[in-house]
Structure 1
Amino acid sequence: TPPPAARDARPAPGEAGGRDPEAVRAYEETLTEVFLTSGLPRMAARVQAALALTDSGGLTAAELVDRLGISPASVSKAVAFMEAQGLVRRLTEGRRERYVIDNGVWYESIIASIRSNDLIVATAREGVRVLGAGTPAAIRLENTARFLDFLSDALRRAAEEARDVLYVGLEEEAGAREQG
């Protein structure tokens, strides 16, 4: 079970209207668990879920502290981790920072993952040179490099092809606002 602060987390300002707060809270716990299962550390998973469930897609550190009942240091550490993974962006608003997830962060996260794979590929190929081609360890490293290189290329192509899917519905929403 989540700590009391998580159970008592408040919705983001202006977002409670018409929503069942208990259902939203339960869903936030479910989403956090999914993010944990995917490999995010607990605090990053909680921050990711909180950001995902705000209509604006963004909250300040103070809002995250209040909403999740966590310390500013916990927010800072979670956001730093999430930035490295391409899961959040910082927007400066005067003297405050707003942490934002938008449709583009999923694309950026995939690209960050590809860059990590590319680093493993390069390092594995360096190991082949160091260990000597044809040795069992070098063969294993070269196979790893080829496998990850293939996946990175395929994932990069797929991400580029699918990128527009992230924005489906946003054009219609923008058009409706302009007409309304």
Structure 2
Amino acid sequence: MGDAHANAAHPGVEAAEQAAAMLAAAGMPRMPARVMMALVGSPDEGYTAAELAERLGVSAAAVSGAVRYLISMRLIQRLSRPGDRRDRYDLVDDAWGGMITSNSPLYAALATQMDRIADENADAPVSVARAREIADFLRYLTQRMPQLVDEWRAGSG
């Protein structure tokens, strides 16, 4: 998780590492979570891959794989600066809202599967009721998450 010297050179490292651990516990791959949380606390011009590797105490290859993953998920972006030959990376504007709402199709698909499970288990009423309740909750999330993000955007601007 980086040594004491790295932590002294980069404020916020401990909080970023703790946040990354939380994301990893929720299912995000560990290195992309660490890179993403480092970028939350990046300088306004972002970080180069070498700066990320130094901050995190990892190899350039580890950062490269994490960056590719995060770009493919549309959570971070490559920044090109005139006169700077090295690419820099930073969060995509509204990465969090996009990350939250991008799960909506998954919730809807899971709800459909929960209904199928209930349909195939008709002789177990408790299990059927549980599957239907999960399906209803997932449909609720599918509907509400985009609305919540829109409400937040409207109230924060």
Same fold (TM > 0.5): yes
Q: How many residues align?
A: 150
Answering whether residue 43 of structure 2 is matched by residue 55 of structure 1, we say yes
Q: Once the 2 structures are TM-superposed, how far is the Cα of residue 150 of structure 1 from its aligned partner? A: 1.1
Aligned equivalents of 1:66, 1:24: Cα separation in 2: 10
Structure 1 67/127 Cα, relative in aligned 2: closer, same or farther at 3 Å? same
Pairs within 5 Å for 1:1-180: 2-4=1-3, 7-9=4-6, 22=8, 24-25=10-11, 27-38=12-23, 39=26, 40-56=28-44, 58-83=46-71, 86=74, 88-91=75-78, 93=80, 98-129=88-119, 131-133=120-122, 135-136=124-125, 137-164=127-154, 168=157
Q: Once the 2 structures are TM-superposed, how far is the Cα of residue 118 of structure 1 from its aligned partner? A: 2.3
Ranges of 4+ aligned residues in structure 1 off by more than 6 Å? none
Q: Is the 8 A contact 2:36 2:76 kept in 1?
A: no
Identity %: 27
Gaps of 5+ in 1: 10-20, 169-180
Structure 1 151/118 Cα, relative in aligned 2: closer, same or farther at 3 Å? same
Aligned equivalents of 1:92, 1:77: Cα separation in 2: 17
Q: Once the 2 structures are TM-superposed, how far is the Cα of residue 122 of structure 1 from its aligned partner? A: 2.5
TM-score (norm 1): 0.63
Gaps of 5+ in 2: none
**Alpha-carbon RMSD:** 3.2
Aligned equivalents of 2:107, 2:87: Cα separation in 1: 30
